[in-house]
C-alpha cells in the first residue's frame, strides 16, 4: 500500500494518528453511552460502525482518503473495550475477571495471527482492497451471534427507561465531574497513556521493523515471525489473567494481586530495549515476543483492576476515559515515531522507551493504591 499510495514514513505516522485521534475522542462518548444503554446494544453499535469503516478502506486512493477511513475505524473501535470490560464485570466474580479479560483480549491476537496467514493469500489473488472488504463483511456474523447469544440475567429494555439525552445531560456532566475528581481514575489513565502506545507501536511497526532487519522481505516471509509474536501475545494475555486469579485464590487481595502480576509483566518487557542492537533475527523476534506477551499480561490486569476499584455502573465510563488517555498517547506516539524514523532512521530510542514505560506506569498506579485491600479498594457507590 505504501508503494501504491505513495506515502512517506511521516505520512504513515499521520495515518496511524488519524485512527488514534478518532479512537481517543470516541472513547469519551462510548463509555457513558454503554453504561446508559447496556452492553448488548452498545457493543453491537460499536462493531457495526467498525465494519462499515473497515470496508471503506477499499475505496481509498490516497494517503488522505486512507486516513479518513482509519478515522472512521477509530470511532467504531472505541466501543470495544468499554463494552468488553463491562461485560466481564457483569457476569464474572472478582477472582475470575483478570482471566476473563485475558481470554477476550486474546481474541485480538488470534486475529493478528490469522491476518499474516490470510492477508498474503487474499492480496496476491484479489488485491489488498479485498482484504478490507472481507474483514468488514465478516463482522456481521459476529453481530448476529452477539445479539442472539448475549442476554445477561439482569438485562431488560433499557432504552425504554432512558430519558432523552438532552434532559439527562446535566446529570451526565455531574457524573463525569465526580468521576474525574478521583485520583485512581487519573493514575490508571496516565499509566495507559504511557503504555498503550507501546502496543500500538508493535502492532503498526513490527512488520516494518522486522523487514528492516533483512533484504527482500515480502509478505510471505513476514508471516511466520508475526504469527510467533502474536502467539506470544495470546499466551501472555491468558497467563497474566491466570496469575492474578491464582493469587486471589491463595488469599492475596485483588488489587495487590493485579499489581504483582503487572510487575511480572513489566519486568518481562524490559529486555526489548535491546532489540535494535541485536543482529540475530531469532533473538530480535524473541525480545519482541516477550514485549507483546508482557503487554497483554499487563492489559488483562489493568482492565481487571478497574472492575476492582469501581462499581459496575461506572466501569464503562472509567474504561472510556482511560481509553481516551491511552489513544491520545497512541496518536502522539505515532507522530513521534514517524518523525524519529524520518529524521534519525533509528529504532533505538523508541525501543528504549518501550522497555521501561511499564515500570513507570506501575509506579504511578502503586502510588495511589498502596493502601488498598480487598475490602477497601472499592470506591463507595
In-domain check, residue 171:
no
Over the stretch 99-129, which tens digit does the pLDDT of each residue have?
888 888 788 777 767 776 787 788 888 888 8
Tell me what pLDDT residue 35 has: 83
Tell me what pLDDT residue 97 has: 84
pTM of the prediction? 0.73
- Whole-angstrom distance, CA of residue 217 vs CA of residue 380: 55
Tell me what pLDDT residue 274 has: 94
Tell me what pLDDT residue 217 has: 52
In-domain check, residue 374:
no
Tell me what pLDDT residue 173 has: 53
Tell me what pLDDT residue 286 has: 93
- Whole-angstrom distance, CA of residue 241 vs CA of residue 101: 7
DSSP per-residue codes, 69-133: HHHHHHHHHTTHHHHHHHHHHHHS-GGGHHHHHHHHHHHHHHHHHHHHHHHHHHHHHH-HHHHHH
Tell me what pLDDT residue 307 has: 85
In-domain check, residue 144:
yes
* Total domains in the fold of the chain: 1
In-domain check, residue 377:
no
Mark the ranges of the chain whose per-residue pLDDT is less than 50. Answer: 154-171, 215, 373-381
In-domain check, residue 176:
no
In-domain check, residue 172:
no
Among the listed residues 36, 314, 329, 354, the one whose alpha carbon sits nearest the alpha carbon of residue 184 = 314
Domain with 140 in it:
2-150+183-369
In-domain check, residue 381:
no
Tell me what pLDDT residue 170 has: 34
* Cβ contact 209:217 at 8 Å: no
In-domain check, residue 202:
yes
CATH code for the domain in which residue 344 is found: 1.20.1250.20
Amino acid at each position: 500500500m505504501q508503494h501504491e499510495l505513495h506515502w512517506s514514513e511521516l505520512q504513515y505516522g499521520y495515518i496511524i494518528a488519524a485512527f488514534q485521534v478518532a479512537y481517543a475522542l470516541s472513547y469519551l462518548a462510548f463509555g457513558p453511552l454503554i453504561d446508559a444503554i447496556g452492553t448488548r446494544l452498545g457493543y453491537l453499535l460499536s462493531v457495526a460502525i467498525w465494519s462499515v469503516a473497515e470496508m471503506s478502506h477499499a475505496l481509498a486512493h490516497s494517503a488522505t482518503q486512507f486516513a479518513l477511513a482509519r478515522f472512521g475505524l477509530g470511532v467504531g473501535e472505541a466501543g470495544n473495550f468499554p463494552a468488553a470490560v463491562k461485560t466481564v464485570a457483569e457476569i464474572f466474580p472478582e477472582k475470575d475477571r483478570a482471566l476473563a479479560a485475558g481470554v477476550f483480549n486474546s481474541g485480538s491476537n488470534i486475529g493478528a495471527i490469522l491476518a499474516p496467514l490470510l492477508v498474503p493469500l487474499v492480496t496476491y489473488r484479489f488485491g489488498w482492497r479485498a482484504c478490507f472488504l472481507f474483514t468488514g463483511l465478516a463482522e456481521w456474523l459476529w453481530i448476529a451471534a452477539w445479539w442472539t447469544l448475549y442476554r445477561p440475567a439482569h438485562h431488560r429494555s433499557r432504552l425504554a427507561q432512558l430519558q432523552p439525552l438532552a434532559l439527562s445531560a446535566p446529570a451526565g456532566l455531574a457524573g463525569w465531574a465526580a468521576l474525574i475528581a478521583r485520583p485512581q481514575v487519573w493514575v490508571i489513565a496516565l499509566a495507559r497513556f504511557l503504555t498503550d502506545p507501546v502496543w500500538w507501536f508493535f502492532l503498526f511497526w513490527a512488520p516494518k521493523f522486522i523487514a528492516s532487519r533483512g533484504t527482500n522481505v515480502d509478505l510471505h516471509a513476514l508471516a511466520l515471525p508475526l504469527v510467533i509474536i502474536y502467539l506470544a501475545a495470546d499466551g501472555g494475555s491468558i497467563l497474566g489473567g491466570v496469575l492474578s486469579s491464582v493469587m486471589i485464590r491463595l488469599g492475596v487481595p485483588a488489587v495487590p494481586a493485579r499489581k504483582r502480576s503487572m510487575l511480572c509483566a513489566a519486568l518481562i518487557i524490559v529486555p526489548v530495549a535491546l532489540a535494535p542492537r541485536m543482529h540475530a533475527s531469532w533473538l530480535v523476534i524473541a525480545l519482541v515476543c516477550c514485549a507483546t506477551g508482557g503487554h497483554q499480561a499487563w492489559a488483562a490486569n489493568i482492565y481487571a483492576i478497574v472492575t476492582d476499584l469501581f462499581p459496575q455502573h461506572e466501569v464503562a465510563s472509567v474504561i472510556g476515559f482511560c481509553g481516551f488517555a491511552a489513544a491520545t498517547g497512541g496518536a502522539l506516539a505515532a507522530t513521534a515515531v514517524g518523525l524519529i524514523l524520518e529524521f534519525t532512521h533509528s529504532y533505538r530510542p523508541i525501543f528504549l522507551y518501550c522497555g521501561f514505560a511499564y515500570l513507570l506506569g506501575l509506579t504511578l498506579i502503586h502510588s495511589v493504591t498502596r493502601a488498598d485491600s480487598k475490602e477497601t479498594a472499592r470506591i463507595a457507590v
